[in-house]
Chains A and B, each alone.
Chain A
Amino acid sequence: MTYAPQTPSESAYNFAYLDEQTKRMIRRALLKGIAIPGYQVPFASREMPMPYGWGTGGVQVTASIIGKDDCLKMIDQGSDDTTNAVSLRGFFKKTAGVATTFETADASIIQTRHRIPEKPLREDQVIVFQVPIPEPLRFLEPRETETRKMHGLEDYGLMHVKLYEDIAKNGHIATTYAYPVKVNGRYVMDPSPTPKFDNPKIDRMPALQLYGAGREQRVYAVPPYTDVKSLDFEDYPFEVQSFDKPCGLCSAEGVYLDEVILDDHGGRMFVCSDTNHCEERRAQGLTGPMAAAPTAAQLSDGNEPKPETRT
């Protein structure tokens, strides 16, 4: 048996950091998760060389599925170049030596913290979500023994009461992220704290979705083209956030926008949360009303890192 040295990765560790037994255990859990869409499969989450909350669940899922030929995209709130994304991308570059990319279309695996790229995903792509609290019923019922029973009996009345109370208090369903969904007409699932804006994207998405929660020791999955319905009422149908202005830098409409504070005199603008989408549009010459503003210069060019491309 030969173990080829893994260059340029850290050869003191196994490929993608995890040992093979751990990978097998997570792989078996993932297969069950795929076979029972939306059901949270318990798994023996490992200590990772990063704190809980940093994406240990997503990292373990990615480490279990990734191969030498994969191309990895890592995003944090839609952005490729914020702290969490940069450090986790570095982790896989170091331990697996895989190609990484900023381009949604080039990636075979996309690990994400709380956003889904604006560009539609394909059948040959896998999206891995980092999940903090996988149990949608947890804040309604703190006991795991009870929530497990509730899932077993498909007893989701409490969730509808919660949404009803939202309406009674606020006049509309005020849940804006981690908006509960029903998967394949059976399990109520927390789509991780993505804004509800992204909920329509997970319904019949062509890509396989894998969810990993490290601290809570759960993985779950949604296979391609699975019906995922956001919970609502006939008279209060589910709706997503809408923005009255386009992206300040690339003028994109119908995308999720982040508010950026520009100065301490109340100056602000709204820009695409998906940085790759925004850069791509600007490269095509599409510019928004703020693109030329001196206050926004730091965001529209200058400090922007060069997108990495597949090698």
Chain B
Amino acid sequence: MSLETRQAPAGSNAVLAAGFSDPVHDAQRCFRALMNAMAQPGKRQTYDASQLKPPVPLTPMGAALALTLFDYDTAIWLDPGLARSLDVLAFLRFHTSAPIVSTPVEASFAIVSDPAQMSALSNFNQGSADYPDRSTTVILLNQTFSTDEHVELSGPGLKEPESFSSTPVPNGFWRQVQANNAQYPRGVDLVFAGTDKIAALPRSTRISPKGA
């Protein structure tokens, strides 16, 4: 691929947005926040991604996670909102070289910019009994963590059951998560990316609904 074709594709006049200013340590800090989030399900971890100015609808936190996790080894799936944006495609292709796939089941990572409309979790790769690690990690953008208690979490990483809530999510989402986690050790892992906070729900967490 020549250098010219690496620039933003035709139809876009945007200059390619920059990646991490300090790739080594920014990625390390972002990873540690994500690792702690995965190890302590539902607990919010802080990471300041405001230095990144990725093209919309990709958010700074979504871009930080992409720069931290993706490379030529990871097939990624983008929800329609992201996949429509040539600037987002150019940004991800340039900074991560990750192949972008069109079917969720092929993806090792999925980014969802409009979680309220997201497709069912069962459409993503669930991993196999022999290789449960091959399932998709689904990253939900634009999340707001609230004090409304939607679900109660228990299991590995949690000293005591904790309540958790994150919006927006589609109707019936928590039932889907419950079904996903019931097939442990298979199933997808979820990452909730807010503005400066991230939380995660690995498949190992047991989920019971609270109220609605």
Contacts from A to B (Cβ < 8 Å): 1-4, 14-15, 20-21, 23-25, 27-37, 39, 41-42, 64-68, 123, 148-149, 151-153, 184, 186-187, 206, 208, 221-227
Contacts and interface: CB of A to CB of B under 8 A. Distances in A.
A67 B156 contact: no
B69 interface: yes
Interface stretch (B9-17, B110-118, B129-137): B129-137
**Candidate in B68, B129, B204 with the most chain A CB atoms within 10 angstroms:** B204
Interface of B: 18-19, 21-25, 27-29, 31-32, 34-36, 38-40, 68-71, 73-74, 108, 128-133, 137, 155-159, 184-185, 189, 202-204
Contact of A36 (B24, B130, B133, B137): B133
A28 B38 CA distance: 11
Given A24-B71, A184-B156, A2 B133 contact: no
A21 B68 contact: no
B40 A24 contact: no
Contacts, number: 117
Given A27-B31, A225-B158, A35 B38 contact: yes
Contacts of A20: 23-24, 27
Contact of A37 (B25, B108, B128, B156): B156
**Candidate in A2, A15, A27, A41 with the most chain B CB atoms within 10 angstroms:** A27
B204 A225 contact: no
Given A67-B25, A68-B25, A27 B68 contact: yes
B156 A31 contact: no
Given A32-B133, A34-B202, A187-B185, A25 B73 contact: yes
A65 B31 contact: yes
25 contacts: A2-B21, A4-B22, A20-B23, A23-B27, A24-B70, A27-B31, A32-B189, A33-B133, A34-B39, A35-B189, A36-B202, A39-B185, A41-B133, A42-B133, A65-B32, A67-B25, A68-B25, A148-B130, A149-B130, A152-B128, A186-B184, A223-B38, A223-B204, A224-B157, A224-B159
Contacts of A4: 22
Contacts of A2: 21-22
A188 to B, nearest CB: 13
B133 A223 contact: no
